[in-house]
Amino acid sequence: MQSRKDLANAIRALSMDGVQKANSGHPGAPMGMADIAEVLWNDFLNHNPSNPDWFNRDRFVLSNGHGSMLIYSLLHLSGYDLSLDDLKQFRQLHSRTAGHPEYGYAPGIETTTGPLGQGIANAVGFAAAEKILAANFNKPDFDVVDHYTYCFLGDGCMMEGISHEVCSLAGTLKLGKLVAFYDDNGISIDGEVEGWFTDDTPARFRAYGWQVIENVDGHDPEAVAAAIKLAQRDSEKPTLICCKTVIGFGSPNKAGSHDCHGAPLGADEIKASKEALGWKYGDFEVPADIYSGWNALDAGAEKETAWNALFEAYAAQYPAEAAELKRRAAGDLPANWEQVSTEMLAKFNAEANKVASRKASQNVLDVIGAELPELLGGSADLAPSNLTFHKSSKSITGEDAAGNYLHYGVREFGMSAIMNGLALHGGFIPYGATFLVFMEYARNALRMAALMKKRLVHVYTHDSIGLGEDGPTHQPVEQVANMRNTPNLDTWRPCDEFETGVAWKSGVEKTDGPTALVLSRQGLAPMARSAEQQAAAAKGGYVLVDSDSAPEIILIATGSEVELAVNAAATLKEQGKAVRVVSMPCTSVFDAQDAAYKESVLPAAVTKRVAVEALHVDFWWKYVGLGGKVVGMTTYGESAPAGDLFKHFNITAEAVVEAATSL
Amino acid sequence: MQSRKDLANAIRALSMDGVQKANSGHPGAPMGMADIAEVLWNDFLNHNPSNPDWFNRDRFVLSNGHGSMLIYSLLHLSGYDLSLDDLKQFRQLHSRTAGHPEYGYAPGIETTTGPLGQGIANAVGFAAAEKILAANFNKPDFDVVDHYTYCFLGDGCMMEGISHEVCSLAGTLKLGKLVAFYDDNGISIDGEVEGWFTDDTPARFRAYGWQVIENVDGHDPEAVAAAIKLAQRDSEKPTLICCKTVIGFGSPNKAGSHDCHGAPLGADEIKASKEALGWKYGDFEVPADIYSGWNALDAGAEKETAWNALFEAYAAQYPAEAAELKRRAAGDLPANWEQVSTEMLAKFNAEANKVASRKASQNVLDVIGAELPELLGGSADLAPSNLTFHKSSKSITGEDAAGNYLHYGVREFGMSAIMNGLALHGGFIPYGATFLVFMEYARNALRMAALMKKRLVHVYTHDSIGLGEDGPTHQPVEQVANMRNTPNLDTWRPCDEFETGVAWKSGVEKTDGPTALVLSRQGLAPMARSAEQQAAAAKGGYVLVDSDSAPEIILIATGSEVELAVNAAATLKEQGKAVRVVSMPCTSVFDAQDAAYKESVLPAAVTKRVAVEALHVDFWWKYVGLGGKVVGMTTYGESAPAGDLFKHFNITAEAVVEAATSL
């Protein structure tokens, strides 16, 4: 059996070698955190390398994701399906060992990290997921959901604002099974952090209601182990273990300096480092006794087997709960989903209510929320405006997690990244809300959900100048185009209650990425649809009103502007024009249809096209072409009642008619 | 003379009336903070209502900008050019009293606020500006730059992550003349904040190195005054004054509840409130003695007169410094600017160096940084990667502010909002940097700069899959389209050192909005340009390589893809095609040219068009039309060496040739 130092040095050696071979990467953090990782993974982490998807595993998040060779080394050494060859392919095309840990590329990567601060936010989501599921499913003597969430984070994560949002909320929610390790090495890219980061971080986290264990020597395994035990003893407070470490530990000439942060050490320095560490092996060479010291396969299998036995006993006593937990963990929808959602749509179509689409969304939630306990709602302190609290909503508090609604507070970015963690954990379809323009505060978390192809639903209300008096800071212009250009994200801007239902249905059913719902503050007139049109709405774009003969003009609209387009078409028809109106609630879903369908909606021969949307015009040239026109926004909004604004910015049925006749 | 309570009640009455008449707005915060505001404005604030631009005035920021009737009331009562009629037009089209305080709409509005947390960030920028200017310009006995920055903020601002970023940095920078008032009323939109916000905020701010004055009764003028005196006594630490207040103070039935946060109180409740407050006057009625208690015209004029005398004496003794400070305060460029910048461009064109555009940017800064002391640089902890530290850069620290470079730490959003504050203060052209993809962390601050039309320059490097191994989290795809759709923002993606110089020159000279520079990590080949082409580059789009006869195909490219387009054009020419290459570094500047110029570059008759850019394709349909093609990205990137990625994603000269020949 090798010493703990030897085991940790395997991480250091592999990290140095991996970065050197790629001639690119970050050796400093893995070398600095190797001892902490060794203690955590070998003595505490409950996981099963043979089954990275074991539902009750502890979650491990590397928030300082640039230190990716740390997690690749850990996965390889402990027995995951990640070979030495994989490590040698670090940062190469088609390899599983990407520059930053990418969810879905290698087994055991719980979340994609790299954008700083978001890993700890995901970890808060994992811990919240565990606590909420436990509160909803565990029974006396049956703690079937019972795991820790561990997170490594560095100075960069600590400086990012999102760390404030999510750690503050973690304290309020009393996420006692969240344990974070702060890699306090005093170095960031510009150099020694004391020039720009002088927080008393322990005091800051105590102010959030965390347990803080200070001044732990991150290179002393006994101290680290003692701290973790202390962390586990407090079941109410999340714990921050502040570890003093040396970046690039072991490198005689670069340790403690930012020189080892983001570049290979170089062959000579690697040689010197291995000598200094007493590591006598070749490049990418790990001796058998080191492997055996790390191997977690047997222990992991035992742990999962024990849990399986527990779960079987639980299932015997609580069959309904067990089946439900299995369903939710698998991400399957309930058996009655298709019926419930179809009936809801038929009802909306028949009732033809005039409501704001934000209100329509709440009406949807009143229906589906009762059927989908996995819908975990929330809003960044705008529940009464976003209308996200539905008839079956129950608030979650620090004292009582047996609910399905999180009051995220005024924390848009934190909310969105926590939602990513909830979705990654499994057992939930998270939805969260804010005003559309404040999507921007959370923008990169939305992108991360799309990059990771996770199912969740963002509810963005107050979607244009139609919000009125709050003015330009609150009126979106360029935001929806940005979302539509985001790969894997479906952005819906429904025109009435029926389309809002279609959008929600799509978001719940889409398993390969997030969905954003762009909803109005103001009331929207219901549109009439045939059965065929009702079905076509799910295709993202469809003919809502057609001309009697072949169309000579096509009007394309979304959301609150569909009514304008329909009214403009009526006027144009009176003038003898053959006009078609296409409702296009989701461009990405429309784009994904087959060519024949798209041609049937937007025939290439019809070049007289006008798009109307109270958002930035530039997105729509894609559909109307150089010869078309777009009625929309090119500037910021103003503060005034909504009706005045639509006239002021000339987004009216008359403007659409004028644009169409000018072609 | 009226009592302090009567003076404060004038704010309450006007706020209630303004919101009621508009039938929209937020009465709760103005009513809650009225007493604090009364003390600050009547006893402490150095300002001159007759000259809102007096350079040495104290700055006042309402970070909880929804309470806009508070600041409108203060401006009106103290004597600014803002009439009762203006107040009656609250939230109406073309009024000066927009729903949120909009910079440039009413005198005395120092910054646009509403997006929570950004006001306190702007305030940190104001305070930093004061400290840096003072360190660079003040002389013994001549404190010509010497003012406080006061900021009101509420629970929402406290929850936002950006408050962490900027308050942490304010502590490190020892901004002792920043005084923030925390409106601790315990209420946010979802209800009582204790369900989602349980921070020990005083402890948190002490951890940032602030002086914290706790438990101040925000309705006790003496307590508020004592706290402000204490704040002023500490010249090293920024001060947070934690004021316990009652939201909607004075409203018998709605005070202390979120019901008064964002809706009119209603006529009956206003009547009851005025009775409870002892306010006996009609709607929008303020008696003469209340006006006289508020009037700051004479005192303000005296203060400015005294400062003018000080400045004249300073100018007599230090004429060069005085002239320079006046120039910088006016925002004028030095007399030699045109010569310096023109010579720089000529040199770049002649030398034709192959450099990454991030390196070209540093080369520009080495030249212009020596000539423009108002250039206040910085990076969010990426100075060695963004290459923003130039030959004349000197770091600013808490101890020594006589520099021109801020190490912002890993705080992209905070940096960007602080830059807005620096630009609003005057005396600086701020520039700040991060990786392009992390623009998203700061996105709304960039929008706020554009909305306020302030001059500053964002340096965004690592601008495509060309950054290579760091992978999809770090590789921009949809970001630049988003910036191009942002009104008032110019986004430049230069193709070589010369165009980088043109872009910087444009950013320094543009006085009606911000500029973003989108720069490569990898080396870019220099392009040859005639004198005419050199001049045309400033037009944002121009013919870089033309066909001998009239073009039949146009290739449009930016940045690193210009070289691909030029190579593709050479191949196509060999095939006998008449091909034009248009370099389009800045689409918004190109769009603003006259129709004749645009037609000369992109003749309508030429419909065979291919755009190439290693970013999302959808932006380019605007220029190539339905019949054109775009070579670019539609998915996220991958982790691999840059050369492999361009091949993998088929962004090559061959792909451009293929696209062009397929038309």
Identify the closest residue of chain B to A93 by CA–CA distance: B640
Within 8 A of B87 by CB-CB distance, chain A residues are: none
Within 8 A of B92 by CB-CB distance, chain A residues are: 639-641, 644
Within 8 A of A385 by CB-CB distance, chain B residues are: 189
Determine, for residues B407 and A190 on separate chains, whether the beta-carbon distance falls below 8 Å. yes
Q: How confident is the model at residue A23 (pLDDT cuts 50, 70, 90)?
A: very high
Measured CA to CA, the distance from residue A541 to residue A559 in angstroms comes to 12
Which residues does residue A650 pair with via DSSP β-bridges, in sequence order? none
Identify the closest residue of chain B to A439 by CA–CA distance: B444
Put simply, whether B62 touches A (Cβ < 8 Å) is no
CA nearest neighbour of A414 among A231, A191, A619, A167: A167
State phi, psi for A220 to the nearest 5 degrees.
-110, 100
In single-letter form, the type of residue at position B374 comes to: E
CB-nearest partner of B381 from A156, A413, A640: A156
Q: Is B261 annotated as a binding residue?
A: yes
Measured CA to CA, the distance from residue B205 to residue A164 in angstroms comes to 12
Residues of B known to be catalytic: 412
Distance from CA of A120 to the nearest CA of B (A): 13
Q: What is the pLDDT at residue B2?
A: 80
What pLDDT digit, counting tens, does each position of A102-115 carry?
999 999 999 999 99
Q: What is the pLDDT at residue A2?
A: 80
Q: How confident is the model at residue A1 (pLDDT cuts 50, 70, 90)?
A: low
CA nearest neighbour of A453 among A500, A486, A478: A486
Put simply, whether B98 touches A (Cβ < 8 Å) is yes
Q: In terms of pTM, does the model score above 0.95?
A: yes
Put simply, whether B232 touches A (Cβ < 8 Å) is no
* Cβ neighbour number for residue B466 with a 10 Å cutoff: 24
Distance from CA of A522 to the nearest CA of B (A): 14
Put simply, whether B591 touches A (Cβ < 8 Å) is no
Within 8 A of B193 by CB-CB distance, chain A residues are: 409
* Environment class of A268 (CB within 10 Å of its CB; exposed 0-12, middle 13-18, buried 19+): exposed
Put simply, whether A384 touches B (Cβ < 8 Å) is yes
What integer is the mean pLDDT of B87-105? 98
Q: What is the pLDDT at residue B605?
A: 96
Measured CA to CA, the distance from residue A247 to residue A256 in angstroms comes to 5
**Continuous H helices in A388-496:** 412-425, 443-452, 479-484
What pLDDT digit, counting tens, does each position of B417-467 carry?
999 999 999 999 999 999 999 999 999 999 999 999 999 999 999 999 999
CB of A514 closer than 8 Å to CB of A450:
yes
Interface test with B, best of A639, A648, A649 (most B CBs within 10 A): A639
Identify the closest residue of chain B to A604 by CA–CA distance: B626
> Which secondary structure element, helix H or strand E, spans residue A317, and what is its range?
helix A297-317
Report ipTM for this prediction: 0.98
pLDDT at B74 over 70: yes
Distance from CA of B146 to the nearest CA of A (A): 24
pLDDT at A652 over 90: yes
pLDDT at B363 over 80: yes
Determine, for residues B382 and A162 on separate chains, whether the beta-carbon distance falls below 8 Å. no
pLDDT at B587 over 80: yes
pLDDT at B531 over 80: yes
Map residue A406 onto helix, strand or coil. Answer: strand
Measured CA to CA, the distance from residue A320 to residue B110 in angstroms comes to 61
Determine, for residues A161 and B163 on separate chains, whether the beta-carbon distance falls below 8 Å. yes
Q: Is B373 annotated as a binding residue?
A: no
CB pairs under 8 A between A and B: 345
Q: Is A155 annotated as a binding residue?
A: yes
What integer is the mean pLDDT of A2-31? 96
Average pLDDT value over all residues in chain A: 97
Q: What is the pLDDT at residue A653?
A: 98
User: Where on the phi/psi map is residue A36: left (φ > 0), alpha (ψ -120 to 50), or beta?
Assistant: alpha
Within 8 A of B385 by CB-CB distance, chain A residues are: 189
Determine, for residues B437 and A444 on separate chains, whether the beta-carbon distance falls below 8 Å. yes
Average pLDDT value over all residues in chain B: 97
CB-nearest partner of A91 from B385, B626, B639: B639
Determine, for residues A411 and B160 on separate chains, whether the beta-carbon distance falls below 8 Å. yes
Name every residue whose Cβ is closer than 8 Å to that of residue B466 and which is 6 or more positions away in sequence.
Answer: B520, B521, B522, B560, B614, B642, B645, B646
What integer is the mean pLDDT of B35-49? 98
Q: Is B470 annotated as a binding residue?
A: yes
Measured CA to CA, the distance from residue B241 to residue A448 in angstroms comes to 38
Determine, for residues B99 and A474 on separate chains, whether the beta-carbon distance falls below 8 Å. yes
- The beta strand positions in B164-238, using DSSP E, are 178-184, 187-188, 191-192, 211-217
Interface test with A, best of B87, B89, B198, B407 (most A CBs within 10 A): B198
Distance from CA of A615 to the nearest CA of B (A): 10
| A-contacting residues in B 426-455 (Cβ below 8 Å) | 437-438, 440-441, 443-444, 447-448, 451
User: Where on the phi/psi map is residue A395: left (φ > 0), alpha (ψ -120 to 50), or beta?
Assistant: beta
Put simply, whether A339 touches B (Cβ < 8 Å) is no
Q: How confident is the model at residue B1 (pLDDT cuts 50, 70, 90)?
A: low
pLDDT at B652 over 70: yes
> Which secondary structure element, helix H or strand E, spans residue B583, and what is its range?
strand B579-583
Q: Is A440 a catalytic residue?
A: no
| B-contacting residues in A 312-331 (Cβ below 8 Å) | none
